[in-house]
Amino acid sequence: MKLTKGFVTDIHSYKHNEIIHRVWRNTKIVDASDDLLITAHKKTRVFEQSGRSWLTKEPAICYFYKDLWFNVIVMFKRTGIVYYCNLSSPYIYDGEAIKYIDYDLDVKVFPNGEYIILDKNEYRYHARIMDYPNNIKKVVEDELKKLVKLIENKEPPFDKAYVLKHYKEAFEREYHKKWQDSKLIYQ
């Protein structure tokens, strides 16, 4: 089955050992092309491997790639746009859910454009105990450099106009009121 605009599905994040890490319920497809999948959700139920669940607090647009080893979650917070990037395998869709392997390293980009690389210790630990192959480690580390370059150059999806276009498409009905309420934050 091919993913098309408006279709609703789940997202499954796995670890390298094939154990499910996290599940997001009911994400909506905003756009799908051969190399990029854009989804949206808000107040979505998320289930952790531990059994804990929670609701997302703000609207989010997610960018999944067929050939890049990361995905990007763009959160529209009251304080501005925050990007949370997961170093991961390219996504697949198998008819059940959008799926990818999470390779621990994350990059958080703040509304002012500053960023931090998170979970370096978790990456080293999992690389050791799950025996990440050298070729996987090389790809993840190379993709991290590519991701940082996109962030620093403010290339899509790290361009506010680009993500606001998808926000408008995904949340059209609420867009006008929310935009008026938060226009200064997102500019």
Question: Catalytic site residues?
Answer: 22
Q: Which of 50, 52, 49, 60 is nearest to 26 (CA)?
A: 60
Taking the CA atoms of 177, 58, 161 and 110 in sequence, report the sign of the dihedral they define. positive
For residue 47 the two structure tokens come to: 């289930």
Radius of gyration of the chain (CA): 16
- For 159, the 3-state DSSP assignment is coil
30/46 Cα distance (integer angstroms): 19
Hunting for tokens 């289930």 — which residue is that? Answer: 47
Residue 119: CA atoms inside 13 Å, Cβ hemisphere, count?
Answer: 16
